[in-house]
Amino acid sequence: MTSYNWKKLGLIFKPEKKIWWLQSHAMIPTPHIIDSNLCKVYFSGRDKDNRSHIGFFVVNLEEPSRILDLSKQPVLSPGDIGSFDDNGVTPSCVVENNTDIFMYYIGWNPGFNVRMHLFGGLAVSQDNGNTFERYSKAPIIERNRVNPFLNTAPYIVKDHNLFRMYYVSGVEWIHKDLPRYNIQIAYSNDGINWERNGVVAINFKNDNEMALARPWVIKENGIYKMWFSYKNNWEDGSTYNIGYAESNNGDDWLRKDKESGIKTSKNGWDSEMIEYAAVVPYKDKLYMFYNGNNYGFDGVGLAVAKR
């Protein structure tokens, strides 16, 4: 039985209004180890028009409360008008692929009969993650026969020559402001072209659960471990919590939400909700970057647990 006891270190990064693309929020932290102890954390900040751009800050995991670097300009901004990501971009996962760095991201696009459309994009860096160029102006996962609604937040695990994607897929819209989505699995040989057959990784635990979001997976001692966010019906005032699941093969998952080891605080920036966990193993500890109230409005927090 795996059970984590996370120690919260508080907010380690806050939005800086003097930076044009970082007027509010630091949403969906996406860490990437760039040296033995240096971690570059990508995230999306919002400009004065509430559009999301992707930038990063750098921390030393030996002293994670001190920010060593912050990108003054975004590494990726909203796409061309009419494209799937013309209203915002948010990081989801960063993977080293040969000499390139692949950033899988969420593209935001406003809707009419529904409030938004979300699809998964890919951007590529050839300068160690300091700048990114879109692989395509089109998404790499969008609507298809088995996923006719939103498809987004891709997280990729590479096992030998197989790429496995865990992604958020809409199963229906209850009404204009209320999508329902779970976490499904796709497969690829190159990390670009994906086969999707509707395989579900994490499903709803009951009829009231509405949202399973932002999967993050690590593999330790042959066990796949996933942290994800979940909430019940938004209309009853419920908010995100962090769930946990395990798998022996990467395909068949068992939810163990009570073993996630972290929940909202009694007061402060993460007292109402806690979500978008990203977990990095380093030495004998796990480092969890996450968001709190209002989807990262106050910034990025950090918690630490023993491995």
Scan for tokens 């990203």, then name that residue. 278
pLDDT confidence of residue 161: 86
Q: Residues 197, 108, 75, 290: is their CA dihedral positive or negative? A: negative
Q: Is residue 263 included in any domain, yes or no?
A: yes
Q: Is residue 36 included in any domain, yes or no?
A: yes
**Rounded to a whole number, what is the distance in angstroms from the first to the last CA of the chain?**
13
pLDDT confidence of residue 197: 96
Scan for tokens 């400009």, then name that residue. 47
Residue 299's H or E segment, with its range, is none
Residue 246's H or E segment, with its range, is strand 241-247
Q: Is residue 194 included in any domain, yes or no?
A: yes
Check: CB of residue 281 under 8 Å from CB of residue 307: yes
Tokens linked to 130: 């300091």
Residues whose CB falls within 8 Å of the CB of residue 269, separated by 6 or more in sequence, listed in order: 11, 292, 293, 298, 299, 301
Type of residue found at 101: I
Q: Is residue 230 included in any domain, yes or no?
A: yes
Cα distance between residue 261 and residue 281, in whole Å: 16
Q: Which domain holds residue 137?
A: 7-306
Q: Residues 27, 297, 130, 302: is their CA dihedral positive or negative? A: negative
For the whole prediction, is pTM greater than 0.85?
Answer: yes
Q: Is residue 2 included in any domain, yes or no?
A: no
For 225-237, the pLDDT digits (tens) are: 999 999 976 666 6
Q: Is residue 111 included in any domain, yes or no?
A: yes
Cα distance between residue 31 and residue 280, in whole Å: 7
Q: Is residue 127 included in any domain, yes or no?
A: yes
pLDDT confidence of residue 237: 63
pLDDT confidence of residue 236: 64
Cα distance between residue 284 and residue 262, in whole Å: 19
What does DSSP assign to residue 259? G
pLDDT confidence of residue 235: 63
For 139-174, the pLDDT digits (tens) are: 999 999 999 999 999 999 998 889 999 999 999 999
Tokens linked to 231: 């909430």
What does DSSP assign to residue 229? E
Q: Is residue 1 included in any domain, yes or no?
A: no
Residues of the chain with pLDDT under 50: none
pLDDT confidence of residue 234: 64
pLDDT confidence of residue 75: 98
Domains identified in the chain, total number: 1
pLDDT confidence of residue 285: 96
CATH of residue 301's domain is 2.115.10.20
pLDDT confidence of residue 208: 87
- CA angle 274/187/193 to nearest 5° reads 105
